[in-house]
Amino acid sequence: MKAPPFAYARAGSLDDALGLLAEAGDEAKLLAGGQSLVPLLVHRVVRPTHLVDVDGLGELTGRTRDGRGLVLGALTRHAELEHAPLEGRERVLSLAAARIGHVPIRARGTLGGSVAHADPAAELPAALLSLDASIVTRSRAGERTIAAEDFFLGPFATSLEPAEAVVSVVVPGAARRGRAAFAELAVRAGDFALASVAATAVVEEGRVSEVRIVLGAIEASPVRATAAEQVLEGGALRDAAIEEAARAAASGCDPVEDASTSASYRRALVARLVRDTVRELRDGAA
């Protein structure tokens, strides 16, 4: 399998990349780590006329904290995220990154790439939703900050404009407090998840607040299990409440069905994974 022909340019800066992207027209794409785009190319699912390579751009790397919170450059590799010294609820990003593909995939794949690709089964979009994170984008028209909840529109669909790039991801500063858990089930290690759950909360004096439970690989985009969150919010994370939340998440979701996995099986996975992750939040394992 070989990719169809395309023209290639290596961008010297983000502005340069945006200029190249704009001038190359509708069928131009950005290339970063290539761990999703190159398979799509060789299967000829996509046939871009031009690729603009941003892989080496220093201005898209880095992990900083400012008034907005934790700012992660779009070129943050999954392996970096996996091993980053994150705190509190932020750690859901490390836990999620560790479940992406395999070591060689995580060495190349990028946060911005995962976000822009928007695979419904991807780990990081679900983790970002559980942090109330935002996606910062730029085009020649300027910069936008888009809440993760508004960014992911469906399978491989986002609110990105054609000549717009993901620049960074911002996690609110409050996420330095609290706990995080992430769990998924895949047929083999490294396969795409059949279901995943990202869970975050603040647990203080036996009471839980700011509960976020996000289901991945279940619907067209990662989705919050708000009914389950409401069951738990303000409570004491007793077993009965956790079981009720797990049931609420399972009955409240609308799972996709595919050749290997029925909706009812996905529902059963949601119940199990919600139970496991919320117990982890309670027990402070993460």
Partner 1 sequence: MSDVRWIAPDARVRVELVLNGEQAALEAAPRWTLADAVRAHGLTGTHLGCEDGVCGACTVLLDGDPVRACLVLALQAAGRRVETVESLGPPDALHPVQQALRDARALQCGFCTPGFALLGAWLREREPDADAHRVREVVSSNLCRCTGYQPIVDALGGS
Residues binding partner 1 (CB under 8 A)? 1-10, 20, 23-24, 31, 34-35, 38-39, 41-43, 50-51, 53, 55, 79, 102-105, 107-108, 188-190
Residues 256 and 219: beta-carbon distance below 8 Å: yes
3-class DSSP assignment, residue 251: helix
The helix/strand/coil state of 27 is coil
Residues with Cβ within 8 Å of 127's Cβ and at least 6 positions away in sequence, in order, are: 92, 93, 95, 96, 182, 198, 214
Q: Smallest gap, in angstroms, from Cβ of residue 263 to partner 1?
A: 27
Choice between 104 and 155, CB closer to partner 1: 104
Question: What's the rounded Cα separation, in Å, for the pair 31 and 27?
Answer: 13
Quickly list DSSP for 39-85: HHHHTTS---SEEEE-TT-GGG--EEEETTEEEEETT-BHHHHHHS-
- Give the chain's length: 286
Would you state the structure tokens that stand for residue 108, as one six-digit string?
Answer: 């190349």
Q: Which is nearer to partner 1, 107 or 174 (CB)?
A: 107
Nearer to partner 1, 21 or 278 (CB): 21
Q: Check: CB of residue 93 under 8 Å from CB of residue 132.
A: no
Question: What is the number of alpha carbons within 13 Å of residue 266 lying toward its C-beta?
Answer: 23
Query: Is the CB of 6 or the CB of 265 nearer to partner 1?
Result: 6
Closest CA to 77 of 59, 53, 52, 60: 60
* Shortest reach from residue 175's CB to partner 1, in Å: 27
Question: Whole-number minimum distance, CB 193 to partner 1, in Å?
Answer: 15
Nearer to partner 1, 28 or 253 (CB): 28
- Considering the complex, what minimum distance in angstroms separates the CB of residue 137 from partner 1? 23
Closest to partner 1 by CB, 51 vs 250, is 51
Least distance between partner 1 and beta carbon 7 (Å) = 5
Please, what is the minimum distance in Å from the beta carbon of residue 101 to partner 1?
8
Write down the least CB distance from residue 82 to partner 1, Å: 12
Nearer to partner 1, 3 or 263 (CB): 3
